Amino acid sequence: MGLIQNVLAVIVVLGLLITFHEFGHFWVARRCGVKVLRFSVGFGKPLWSRLDRHGTEFAVAAIPLGGYVKMLDEREGEVPAEERHRAFNRQNVWARIAIVVAGPLANFLLALVAYWVLFVAGTTTVVPVIGEVAPDSPAARGGLAAGQEITAVRGEPVRSWEEINLELVAAIGASGELTVSARDEGDSAARQHRLPVEDWLVRQDPPQPLPSLGITPWRPPLPATLGQVVDGEPAAAAGLRAGDEILAVDGEPVAGWRDFVERVRARPGEPLALSVRRGERRLSLSLTPRANALDDGTTIGYVGAGVEPVAWPEAYRREIRYGPLAAVGQAAARTGEMTVLTLDAIRKMVVGLISPSNLSGPITIARIAGDTARSGLESFISFMAYLSISLGVLNLLPIPVLDGGHLMYYLVEAVRGRPVSERVQALGLRIGLALVGTLMLMALYFDLMRL
């Protein structure tokens, strides 16, 4: 069921993003007087198509991993003399630039609209209160303590752990100090703390900003109550059910879910005597964790059970909401921030500050799309907005075969006054195909490694 949900979620997300991207090209091409022959969502054989009164074929194809807008162009076939003025290649350079840029700009516009919807509807987040600070960590040396609420990172106000992580990831590669402002419970004024860092998160795979600083977010206490039991795994074989509360292991009381998990992980293949509360009854059960081998060669216990979620106290919940006009500015700021972050991440990957293993392909995108869809509409829309920005940024990179490559040629033409030669464009096409193909293979490889 999870696989089906992931596939459906990624089809919805990519279908919407690609349709919007290609509609940007289509809309501007029509306004510039260019004849559009086909508007296709997906590649391959059309599953559905229809022809409009302008002679444009709209199609949905079998492979939902892309799309294209095919325009009348003398470089791709014979064009009747009476229609040559509507060919793409006959347009002036500024019209061609506008048509090429319109696709990525449509993705940025979609992200802005998505963020606007979220800010108007209101987003519920968790107040960023520190739960624990690891001894002798950068956070401890900077004076941060449990119970403090983080209010700013690097001088930028933050209201949630998501915003904190974005600011910390943007600082990858930093050496010296990270400034973090925090206030104690009950205080209105925050104090600035300077956290010492050296080559911050460089080549960490994947980057883990908070653990690297020694910060653990506050979480409500989790009783050792089972929320789910996986069929065919040791927990189910032992007779455990959803709703059971683990009171003790081998006669020792269990302090909570984390305590129970640590004991299970530490005892692979060894029987555990459990004391369990089920409704009004107390039961004694025997549970033997299955041994799971990790990549580093160590072995841990696994039983196939999950914790029952608990509600967050209202004091630790925060709603972020804006009026329709104020939300426009906030949405534009968030879109700009995520665009800069994406560009900076690409730069840091090129210079080696970020591991290329952070590249994600269709498998990872499908998994995250499914996870966010299950988490709720708010998470799904937020993910879609970020993916739309990523698609816009990637398409603007100056790589032939991408929109950015065509834009590069047209800008050179605008400066020189004549087009880039066919020989140079053909060479660029081969280089672009090799680069894009290599990136796709790398992303797919890292996807499979994550599985």
Question: Please, what is the average pLDDT of the chain?
Answer: 89
10 Å CB burial of residue 67 (0-12, 13-18, 19+) is buried
Residues 305, 235 contacting (CB under 8 angstroms): yes
Asked if the domains at 130-217 and 226-308 fall in one CATH topology, the answer is: yes
Kindly indicate the confidence band of residue 131, based on its pLDDT and cuts at 50, 70 and 90: very high
Q: Give 309-351 pLDDT, tens digit per residue.
A: 888 888 888 888 999 999 999 999 999 999 998 998 888 888 8
**d(C-alpha 322, C-alpha 327), whole Å:** 5
Cα-Cα end-to-end distance for the chain: 17
Q: Which residues lie below 8 Å from residue 227, measured CB to CB, with a gap of 6+?
A: 242, 306, 307, 308, 309
Q: What are phi and psi of 176, to 5 degrees?
A: 120, -105
Kindly indicate the confidence band of residue 204, based on its pLDDT and cuts at 50, 70 and 90: confident
Which SS3 state, helix, strand or coil, does residue 229 take? strand
**d(C-alpha 432, C-alpha 434), whole Å:** 5
- Which of residues 447 and 310 earns the better pLDDT score? 310
Q: What tokens does 323 get?
A: 């009026």
pLDDT at res. 433: 87
10 Å CB burial of residue 70 (0-12, 13-18, 19+) is middle
Q: What tokens does 213 get?
A: 């600083």
pLDDT at res. 2: 59
Percent of the chain with pLDDT strictly greater than 70: 97
Which SS3 state, helix, strand or coil, does residue 419 take? coil
Mean pLDDT, to the nearest integer, of 13-33?
91
Q: What is the dihedral of CA 194, 196, 202, 206, to 10 degrees?
A: -70
pLDDT at residue 161 is higher than 60: yes
pLDDT at res. 142: 93
pLDDT at res. 47: 87
pLDDT at res. 450: 67
Query: Which of 138, 158, 217, 148 minimizes the C-alpha distance to 189?
Result: 148
Q: Which residues pair with 194 in a beta bridge?
A: 179
Q: Which residue has the tokens 């599985």?
A: 451
Distances (CA, A) of 64 to 1, 18, 25, 70, 89: 20, 9, 18, 17, 28
CA 192 from centroid of its chain's CA atoms: 30
Other CB atoms within 10 Å distance of the CB of residue 182: 24
Q: Which residues pair with 416 in a beta bridge?
A: none
**d(C-alpha 178, C-alpha 193), whole Å:** 8
For the chain, give every domain's residue range: 93-122+323-451, 130-217, 226-308
**Top-ranked range on mean pLDDT: pick from 71-85, 322-336, 367-381:** 322-336
**d(C-alpha 241, C-alpha 77), whole Å:** 67
Q: Give 217-242 pLDDT, tens digit per residue.
A: 998 988 999 999 999 999 999 999 99
Percent of the chain with pLDDT strictly greater than 90: 54
**d(C-alpha 133, C-alpha 448), whole Å:** 35
Kindly indicate the confidence band of residue 451, based on its pLDDT and cuts at 50, 70 and 90: low
Kindly indicate the confidence band of residue 436, based on its pLDDT and cuts at 50, 70 and 90: confident
Q: CA-based angle 158:372:2, to the nearest 5?
A: 155
pLDDT at residue 51 is higher than 80: yes
- What dotted CATH number matches 226-308? 2.30.42.10
Q: Give 87-99 pLDDT, tens digit per residue.
A: 999 999 999 999 9
Mean pLDDT, to the nearest integer, of 160-167?
89
Q: What tokens does 124 get?
A: 């519920």
Q: What tokens does 226 get?
A: 């089972």
**d(C-alpha 289, C-alpha 265), whole Å:** 8
Work out the widest C-alpha separation in the chain, in whole angstroms: 91
**d(C-alpha 28, C-alpha 104), whole Å:** 12
CA 208 from centroid of its chain's CA atoms: 15
Query: Which of 378, 393, 315, 405 minimizes the C-alpha distance to 118?
Result: 378
Q: Helix count (H) and strand count (E) of the chain?
A: 12, 18
Determine the residue type at 229: V
Kindly indicate the confidence band of residue 69, based on its pLDDT and cuts at 50, 70 and 90: very high
Mean pLDDT, to the nearest integer, of 106-117?
96
pLDDT at res. 296: 67
Mean pLDDT, to the nearest integer, of 121-134?
91
User: Hey, which bits of 117-187 come out as E strands?
Assistant: 123-126, 130-133, 149-153, 156-157, 176-183
Please spell the DSSP secondary structure of 274-323, one letter per residue.
EEEEETTEEEEEEE-PEEEE-TTS-EEEE--EEEPP-PPPGGGEEEE---
Residues 79, 37 contacting (CB under 8 angstroms): no
Name the residues annotated as catalytic: 22
Which SS3 state, helix, strand or coil, does residue 263 take? helix
**What is the 8-class DSSP label of residue 315?**
G
Top-tier CATH class for 130-217? mainly beta
Residues 160, 128 contacting (CB under 8 angstroms): yes
**d(C-alpha 149, C-alpha 187), whole Å:** 10
Residues 265, 300 contacting (CB under 8 angstroms): yes
